[in-house]
Amino acid sequence: MEKPASGRQPTLDEVARLAGVSRSAASRAINNAQHVSRAKREAVGRAVKELGYVPNLAARGLVTQQAGTVVLAVSSNDPAVFVDAFFARVIFGVSAALERTELTLTLVLAGTPEGESKLRQVLRSRRADGVMLMNLHGDDPLARLAEQIPVPVVFGGRPLVGEPRHYVDTDNRGGSRLATEHLIDTGHRRIATITGPLDTDVARTRHRGFQDAMAVAGLDPSRVDHGDFSERSGAEAAARLLAAYPDLDAVVAGSDNMAAGAMRGLKAYGRSVPDDVSVVGFDDLSTALHTDPQLTTVHQPIQALGGEMARMLTALIGGEEPSPLILPTHLVQRASTRSRADAAAPRP
């Protein structure tokens, strides 16, 4: 059989003729439907490759009852969230994982009642095959979405409410504990922390990791202030901490952005980093390489977080039942921390 003329897309009928099967058999093979023999699938696969056939996604949707689209929804009303360094890497990971599928990605802001309503409408009408949810705060109504819509839901990080069956998260507690233990092991004793917003699971869990390490070392965990993961909030929190605890010798920040702000705030009050105060962040964003000095931080695999969310959602759409996944963290030591010359006795 001759190939279609240049510039013309081959048809399903041409694929069927080249494969020596009926049109319906070719359609079922292309759409991975049941009751198609292995020989016919292989013949259709060869024909598709030889002709350069691209399935019509709209027609495919009629066969598979799928929309061909998945949603990444962020509980925020600020479009700038999608260019934030953290979310940009998540989106890159999601997109890279979806390249191996025929699913396309739609980004949605769902941090307002209007945005939430539009998202629910899209999902209830099955104009998307599934949704990934991130950045949920407090008793966010989106946390219960999995119980209310007919498509799969995967959470990026656990919500504070409900018991999600499908989520991908980072070992936030263990990572924060590592950061605090590093400071304790290098002789720091008057350690403060700047948490993220405590209406999020990620901030609460990182705070618990700080408390775990301080408790094991028998140190006071009460030097605490709060931010919103932004650099500005880190600077403001550092100023408040210095006013309350002028003798502090280290800060564990709940994100790299807050750590960068804390470094700026400490320097504004005449404190040298790390000679007077050591600082540790969390995330290992490019921000950590551009602070002066470069930031010691906890690395979390952000791109992998996005990729695993997409793979989990794809598996659910395909009828599988994947288990929740916690990704590991590790400490990256740079120049914003140093050993204290007046280190106390080793911690127990």
Domain that holds residue 24: 12-64
List the strands of the sheet with 330-332, edge to edge.
Answer: 224-226, 191-195, 250-253, 278-283, 296-299, 330-332
Segment holding 42, helix H or strand E: helix 38-51
The residue type found at 43 is A
Same domain, 159 and 307: yes
Same domain, 202 and 258: yes
pLDDT of residue 255: 98
Same domain, 128 and 180: no
Residue 114's nearest CA partner among 77, 162, 68 is: 77
Answer whether residue 1 is part of any domain.
no
pLDDT of residue 123: 87
pLDDT of residue 267: 97
pLDDT of residue 145: 82
Q: Which residues contact 12 (CB under 8 A, 6 or more apart)?
A: 23, 26, 27, 30, 53, 56
Q: How far is CA 303 from CA 67, 77, 159, 284, 300, in A?
A: 25, 23, 20, 12, 9
Same domain, 78 and 48: no
Same domain, 273 and 200: yes
Instruction: Identify the CATH number of the domain in which residue 51 sits.
Output: 1.10.260.40
Answer whether residue 340 is part of any domain.
no
Same domain, 163 and 51: no
Answer whether residue 98 is part of any domain.
yes
Answer whether residue 345 is part of any domain.
no
Same domain, 180 and 296: yes
Answer whether residue 91 is part of any domain.
yes
pLDDT of residue 4: 58
Answer whether residue 188 is part of any domain.
yes
pLDDT of residue 306: 97
Same domain, 54 and 77: no
Instruction: Identify the CATH number of the domain in which residue 122 sits.
Output: 3.40.50.2300
Same domain, 58 and 78: no
Answer whether residue 165 is part of any domain.
yes
Same domain, 277 and 213: yes
pLDDT of residue 35: 62
pLDDT of residue 32: 66
Same domain, 119 and 216: no
Answer whether residue 269 is part of any domain.
yes
pLDDT tens for the chain, 348 residues long, are 555 555 567 888 888 999 998 877 787 787 666 567 888 889 998 998 888 887 654 444 444 456 689 999 999 988 888 888 999 999 999 999 998 788 899 999 998 889 999 898 888 888 899 999 999 998 888 888 878 888 899 999 999 888 889 999 999 999 999 999 999 999 999 999 999 999 999 999 999 999 999 999 999 999 999 999 999 999 999 999 999 999 999 999 999 999 999 999 999 999 999 999 999 999 999 999 999 999 999 999 999 999 999 999 999 988 888 999 999 999 999 999 999 864 444 444
Same domain, 127 and 48: no
Q: How many domains does the chain have?
A: 3
Q: Tell which of 286, 301, 316 closes a domain.
A: 301
